[in-house]
Structure 1
Amino acid sequence: MDGYAVAGAPPWRPLADVVTAGGASTVVLEPGDAVRIATGAVLPDGAERVVRDEHLDVTDSLVTPLPGNADGDDTRRIGEDWHAGAHLAPAGTVVSPAVLSTALSAEVPSLAVRGPLRVRTILSGDEIRTSGPLARGETRDAVGPVVASFVRACGAEALEVTHLRDTAADVDALFSGPCDADVLAVVGGTGGGAADRLRDAITRAGGEIVVGRVRCRPGGSQLTAVLPDGRVVLGLPGNPFAAIATLVTILPAVVDAALAAEPSRRRGIVHVDDAADGARIVAVDALPDGTWHVRRGHGTATLVGLVGAAAFAVVPPLARGDVVCEIVPLP
Structure 2
Amino acid sequence: MLTFDDAQQRLVHDAPSPTRTELISIYGAAGRVLAEPIHAVLDLPAADNSAMDGYAIRHADFQAGQALPVQEHCFAGETPAPLAQGRATRLFTGSMIPEGADTVVMQEHAREIDGGVEIDAVHCAGQHIRRRGEDIREGQLLLPAGTFVQPAQIGLIAAQGIEQVRVFAKLEVGILTSGDELVEAGNVRAPQQVFNSNAPMLSALVEGMNARVSRVLLSRDNEFELRCAFSQLLTQCDLVISVGGASVGEKDFIKPVLESIGGSLAFCRVLMKPGKPVFASYVAGKPVICLPGNPGAAFSVFALLVSPLIRHMQGRANVFPPVSRIPLRGVTRGGGDRDEFLRVQCRPADDGQAELVPFAEQGAGSVSSMACASGLARIPTGSQFCAGTSAAYYDFRHWLE
Give TM class, smaller chain: 0.7 to 0.9
When residues 205 and 301 of structure 1 are mapped into structure 2, their CA distance, relative to the original with a 3 A threshold, is same
Determine which of 83, 86, 90 is the counterpart of 2:137. Answer: 83
Q: Give the superposition deviation at 1:48.
A: 4.2
When residues 220 and 67 of structure 1 are mapped into structure 2, their CA distance, relative to the original with a 3 A threshold, is same
Determine which of 285, 310, 323 is the counterpart of 1:255. Answer: 310
Equivalent residue, structure 1, for 2:147: 93
Instruction: Deviation per CA, 1:213-248: give whole Å up to 9, x if none.
Output: 1122221111122332x4322111111111111111
Query: Which SS does the other structure have where 1:211 is aligned?
Result: strand
Paired with 1:168 and 1:31, the residues of 2 have a C-alpha distance of 90
When residues 5 and 32 of structure 1 are mapped into structure 2, their CA distance, relative to the original with a 3 A threshold, is same
TM-score by length of 2: 0.72
Equivalent residue, structure 2, for 1:308: 372
Q: Does 1:204 align with 2:263?
A: no
Query: Which SS does the other structure have where 1:146 is aligned?
Result: helix
Equivalent residue, structure 1, for 2:105: 51
Question: Which has the higher relative contact order, 1 or 2, with Cα contacts under 8 A spaced 6 or more apart?
Answer: 2
Equivalent residue, structure 1, for 2:391: 324
Determine which of 205, 209, 213 is the counterpart of 1:150. Answer: 205
Equivalent residue, structure 1, for 2:228: 173
Q: Does 1:4 align with 2:4?
A: no
Q: Does 1:39 align with 2:93?
A: yes
Q: Which runs of 5+ in 2 are unaligned?
A: 1-51
Determine which of 279, 290, 298 is the counterpart of 1:243. Answer: 298
Paired with 1:29 and 1:3, the residues of 2 have a C-alpha distance of 15
TM-score by length of 1: 0.86
Contact persistence 1:8–1:33 (CA under 8 A): no
What does 1:215-226 align with in structure 2 at a 5 Å threshold?
A: 215-226=271-282
**Bigger shift: residues 94-103 or 15-24:** 15-24
Q: Give the superposition deviation at 1:323.
A: 4.9
Contact persistence 2:70–2:117 (CA under 8 A): no
Instruction: Deviation per CA, 1:92-113: give whole Å up to 9, x if none.
Output: 3321211111111233444443
Q: Does 1:267 align with 2:324?
A: yes
Instruction: Deviation per CA, 1:299-323: give whole Å up to 9, x if none.
Output: 3233023243332223211222225
Paired with 2:104 and 2:180, the residues of 1 have a C-alpha distance of 74
When residues 69 and 8 of structure 1 are mapped into structure 2, their CA distance, relative to the original with a 3 A threshold, is closer
Larger proportion of helix:
2
Query: Which SS does the other structure have where 2:376 is aligned?
Result: strand
Q: Give the superposition deviation at 1:291.
A: 2.5
Equivalent residue, structure 2, for 1:123: 177
Equivalent residue, structure 2, for 1:284: 344
Aligned-partner residue type, residue 174 of structure 2: R
Contact persistence 2:377–2:391 (CA under 8 A): no
When residues 264 and 30 of structure 1 are mapped into structure 2, their CA distance, relative to the original with a 3 A threshold, is same
Aligned-partner residue type, residue 324 of structure 2: R
Instruction: Deviation per CA, 1:241-277: give whole Å up to 9, x if none.
Output: 1111111111222034332422213233335422222
Query: Which SS does the other structure have where 1:206 is aligned?
Result: coil
Q: Give the superposition deviation at 1:153.
A: 5.1
Paired with 2:366 and 2:169, the residues of 1 have a C-alpha distance of 32
Aligned-partner residue type, residue 344 of structure 2: V
Q: How high is the sequence identity, in percent, across the aligned residues? A: 26
**Bigger shift: residues 185-194 or 297-306:** 297-306
Equivalent residue, structure 1, for 2:48: none
Paired with 2:202 and 2:211, the residues of 1 have a C-alpha distance of 12
Paired with 1:157 and 1:48, the residues of 2 have a C-alpha distance of 54
Q: Which runs of 5+ in 1 are unaligned?
A: none
When residues 175 and 140 of structure 1 are mapped into structure 2, their CA distance, relative to the original with a 3 A threshold, is closer
Contact persistence 2:206–2:213 (CA under 8 A): yes
Instruction: Deviation per CA, 1:169-220: give whole Å up to 9, x if none.
Output: 3322334336543322111121122322222232233333222111222211
Q: Give the superposition deviation at 1:85.
A: 2.0
Equivalent residue, structure 1, for 2:73: 18
Q: How many residues align?
A: 329
RMSD: 2.8
Contact persistence 1:166–1:197 (CA under 8 A): yes
Aligned-partner residue type, residue 322 of structure 2: R
Query: Which SS does the other structure have where 1:215 is aligned?
Result: strand
Paired with 2:311 and 2:145, the residues of 1 have a C-alpha distance of 12
Query: Which SS does the other structure have where 1:30 is aligned?
Result: coil
Query: Which SS does the other structure have where 1:225 is aligned?
Result: strand
Equivalent residue, structure 2, for 1:104: 158
Q: Does 1:227 align with 2:283?
A: yes
Equivalent residue, structure 2, for 1:195: 251
